[in-house]
Amino acid sequence: MRSTSVEVKPLRHIAIIMDGNNRWAKRQGRSGIAGHRVGVERIRDVLNACRREGIEALTLFAFSSENWRRPPKEVEALMSLFYNYLKKEARELSKESVRLRVIGSRERFSPKLLRAIEEAESIAADGEATLTIAADYGGCWDITQAAQQVAQDVLDGRLSPSDICEEHLTSHLSTQGLPSLDLLIRTGGEYRISNFLLWQAAYAELFFSPVLWPEFGPAELKQAVDCFRSRERRFGKTSDQLAREAKRA
């Protein structure tokens, strides 16, 4: 058993790969989109649970760059669910002091959905907590677009190639302004991160839950949070170093 961390690290930012909607629906003898509808309802429960835990930022993987390969009818239904969620939840998020952000490429969204995204972000523009929805998002895309912006800074004379550092790239990622990612959860029993927050997850703790997303709730979130808090986060240091630093603090 791993020892409890000597250096207490706050848990500020959780990201979740919401996997298992289709499998849940099949087990229920229902259509795949029914699983996605139930999955949307879980967002509110998990967001509220995060806030009770004092977590500032929740980032959800709603639709990946690769999900466009799914059957057209399923993609259309997912876009409709996304649109309805934005129209329904933006004002509630604002009332609850939750800021809404949508990250990812927007080039393939319809004008109607683009307007809904912009309107929802405008309505829920401020808050003590942040809900980020990653839609048409991929970690490789995120790093690529950040690199393109840094390259443009060089071309425009604002930056020298020799001065490029991690901080420059990080400042151009779509998650800029959010706390560093602490915990990445994937539901549904798969053990991969599927091109999600590749740069941001470099030192995040990973938690893989066998529970399908439509059944993932506050109890399952607490299990992941408790597991996170039991781990020793060394960031390249040794346990002895952390112990000595804790004594000096």
Asked if pLDDT for residue 211 goes beyond 90, the answer is yes
User: Active site residue: 21, 22, 48, 67, which one?
Assistant: 67
Q: Which two tokens stand for residue 22?
A: 């289709």
* Residue 182 annotated to the active site: no
pLDDT of amino acid 243: 57
How confident is the model at residue 4, as a pLDDT?
44
Indicate if the pLDDT at residue 249 is higher than 80: no
Is residue 112 left, alpha or beta, with left meaning phi > 0 and alpha meaning psi from -120 to 50?
alpha
22 is catalytic: no
Look at residue 105 in the predicted model and tell me its pLDDT. 97
pLDDT, mean over the chain? 92
Q: What phi and psi, each to the nearest 5 degrees, are found at residue 239?
A: -60, -35
**Which residues does residue 205 pair with via DSSP β-bridges, in sequence order?**
183
Write the CB contacts of 111 (distance below 8 Å, at least 6 apart in sequence): none
Q: Work out the number of other CB atoms within 10 angstroms of the CB of residue 12.
A: 15
Residue scoring higher pLDDT (143 or 247):
143
Alpha carbon distances (Å) from 212 to 19, 31, 86:
6, 15, 23
- The domain locations on the chain are 13-138+179-248
Q: Span 193-198, mean pLDDT?
A: 98
Q: Evaluate if residue 235 carries a pLDDT over 70.
A: no
pLDDT of residue 9: 62
Query: Which residues, including other chains, have CB under 8 Å from residue 191's CB and lie 6 or more apart?
Result: 208
The answer to whether the Cα torsion of 145, 147, 151, 156 is positive or negative is positive
Per-residue confidence (pLDDT) for residue 193, from 0 to 100: 97
Instruction: List, in sequence order, the alpha helices (H) in the chain.
Output: 21-27, 32-52, 72-95, 111-123, 139-155, 166-172, 218-230, 239-248
Instruction: Enter the tokens of residue 111.
Output: 């004008």
How much is the pLDDT for 232? 77
The residue-averaged pLDDT of 159-186 equals 96
Query: Residue 6: pLDDT band by 50, 70, 90 thresholds?
Result: very low
Topology of 13-138+179-248 in CATH? Undecaprenyl pyrophosphate synthetase (3.40.1180)
* pLDDT digit string, tens, across residues 87-120: 999 999 999 999 999 999 999 999 999 999 999 9
pLDDT at residue 10, rounded to an integer: 83
Q: Are 93 and 165 in contact (CB under 8 A)?
A: no
Q: What is the mean pLDDT of residues 161-177?
A: 95
Are 178 and 134 within 8 A, CB to CB? Answer: no
Instruction: Tell me the pTM.
Output: 0.91
Give the confidence band of 237 by pLDDT, cuts at 50, 70, 90.
Answer: low
Please identify which of the residues 19, 136, 142, 182 carries the catalytic annotation: 19
Predicted confidence (pLDDT) per residue in 19-60, tens digit: 999 999 999 999 989 999 999 999 999 999 999 999 999 999
pLDDT of residue 240: 58
Three-state DSSP class for 161?
A: helix
pLDDT at 30: 95
| Overall average pLDDT of the 221-239 stretch | 82
